[in-house]
Amino acid sequence: MDIDKPISLRPRFRESTQLDKETLLSRIATLKENYRKKYRLTQSGNHLWIHHLKKNEKIFTPNLHLEIVEDDYDEPDKLIIKGLYSPNSAYWTMFMFVHFVLAVLFIGFMIMAYTKSVVKESYWPYIYLMICIAMIWIALYFFARYNRLKGLKQAKELEKIYEEWVKGQA
């Protein structure tokens, strides 16, 4: 997995394994015991979430969500493990809310600029505001990339736990 290479803010991976579901699920208890002082592992059915403890959590701290998929169309005879690195859900929700507000403002200013141009009035203030919103969007993207890079070390730690779980060293 190259979590530091892709451009996406929430990297995903997909890996097939010859192990059966019961083996993987039984290893979770051992992982929980081995890492209980540094990580919080939560399991629900075929899903496993690995979180850093609150005392170690920063705005850029990633979480790892793993899902065991049994019946995959591409590889029906193998077990598939899907993984998703993501930031804290509260931060991600706030981040998406800010994007939504900016999108609504952008569309509103675009409508106002069009309306002003139709009635032959000055529409440039709305164009400037739209440009400012576009620059804020770009700044938010680079802010998210910067925070993702700061959390890369912690993401690599989560990757090691995943490797230990799949390779059977737990």
* Residue, of 71 and 1, whose pLDDT is higher: 71
Look over the chain and give the mean of its residue pLDDT values, rounded to a whole number. Answer: 88
Domain ranges of the chain: 1-170
Q: Which residues in 3-41 are b (16+ Cβ under 10 Å) and which e?
A: beeeeeeebebeeeeebeeeebeebbeebbeebeeebeb
Integer angstrom CA distances of residue 132 from 50, 117, 135, 138: 38, 19, 5, 10
Question: Above 70 in pLDDT, residue 72?
Answer: no
Q: Is the pLDDT of residue 79 over 90?
A: no
End-to-end CA distance of the chain: 20
69 - beta bridge partners? Answer: 80
Model confidence, pTM: 0.77
- The number of CA neighbours under 13 Å toward the Cβ of 85 is 27
| 24 residue type, one letter | L
**pLDDT for residue 170 is more than 60:** no
**Residue 11, pLDDT score:** 81
DSSP string over 143-167: HHHHHHHHTHHHHHHHHHHHHHHHH
Find the length of the chain. Answer: 170
